[in-house]
Amino acid sequence: MRYVMFVCDNDSVGVPMEDADPAAWVREMDGRGVRLQGARLRPGSDATTVRVRGDEVLLSDGPFAETKEQIGGFDLIECDNLDEAIEIASKHPSARFGWVEVRPLWEE
C-alpha cells in the first residue's frame, strides 16, 4: 500500500540543522526500498494559493493557512500496512520537533 508522508514543522522552533537533516533517514528508507519519492518544499512564502469562485480564478500569495506550522516536504512510501508506515514516519527527524502526517493514497 502506498502512503504519502507530509513532513511538517514549526518555523518558530529553532532546530539545529544536524538534528533536522533527513539525509540519514533517506538513505535508510531508500536502502529498505520503501521510499518511492520525496522532496523538500520551498518556504510557504513562495507559495501561491489558487481558488475558483464561479468563473473567477482568485490568487493569493503565500500558503493557504496563516500559521507558523507548514508542510516542509513530502515522501511517497510503499509499505505492507499502516503499522509499517507509522514506524517509517516515526524515524523521520521532523517527527521529533514537528510532525509527520501519514495518509494512504486512493489505489485504483
What is residue 15's predicted lDDT score, i.e. its pLDDT? 60
The Cα–Cα gap between 17 and 99 comes to 16
Contact 98, 9 (CB under 8 A): yes
Span 33-71, pLDDT tens digits: 999 999 998 888 888 889 999 999 999 887 666 656 678
